[in-house]
Structure 1
Amino acid sequence: MASQWHSLVSQKLFLARTLLRQLDQPGRISAANEAELALGREAVLQGATELLLRSRSLMLIMLARFHQKKTEEPTSLNALALLIGEDSSDLSGLRELERRSGSWWQHLDQLEVAQSRPPATRKTVSPENIIAVSANAGPDRSAQALMKSLEAIKHFADDLEEQHSEW
């Protein structure tokens, strides 16, 4: 049963990878003008991000199934901890990723916050305020950064599947 969840996680990651590869092939996103091209790129980035976030959520359910929780569907690490206990090595691995700066877990947390809120209003630049203008870049939404997180999630999920299938 848990293997089905691993397959679902893998499927979402495969779809995200498929979207991100479209950005490497400029002719794949056909556009009549620059605005349409930018819109297509944004759609691909947001779609891939949503698939990565979904795969992370599904991984929590996969872990619950590995721990014989047949119906529960945790939506956070804290909910998973209540189900399987804080002393689980699976949970401690995820907690470490949650704390480690630059980890795929933190990257997805940042992307989730950025994608769940309206864009910040930016000041217009004029000669009077040019010194006071600063840019808040937000999380790295580049295809390379998303692909790096995708590969790390895939590796983590595959390791979990391998560990639990040995039992």
Structure 2
Amino acid sequence: MARQPEQGDDMLYLILEGVGNDSLLKALYEQCEAPIWELLFSETQWAPYKDESPLVIQTARGSAFYQWALKGLGKTGELRGVIIESDASLEAVLQWARARLTVTLGDTRNGLLRFYDPLVWHRLAPHDTGREGTVKRVVYWHGGPEDGSWLTSQNPEPVTMVGAPTLEAEQLQNLNLARA
């Protein structure tokens, strides 16, 4: 379902990666007087890799930063990430996202799932849970700067959350991780 992000009552959270977090943080502070953000990898087993961690940023639709991020996610391709629409707090969205970072890969292997990368998100084909949870919608740019479009996942669940987060066989195949 294609749609341009538009006005609404939900809070917006961006999970973003840039060319470097220093430049992303610099842009954030240039656009926002008092930005609210966290490193996604903080308080997870991935914390030692904080220099590579995406930022989770709370923002408003009309803000200069949001407009800048839309451009970077879409037409210029300078950013990678997803937009999360939620009624929940930043802490609740962080818990939701962090719970899905480490997945089992079909056997005893575990790995970092970069679900916040639009290409990975699209290949995971998150299913609609049919009920509103922490995350109401995820909006992401799919395709290139010239031929892409905004897509939306409603009430999404990108992984199987029974016990440890797990990828289904089809998801592994879509991510080219399946064993021969």
- Shorter-normalised TM range: under 0.3
Higher relative contact order (CA 8 A, sep 6+): 1
TM-score, reference length from structure 2: 0.25
The structure that has the greater radius of gyration is 1
> Which protein has the bigger helix share?
1
> Which protein has the bigger strand share?
2
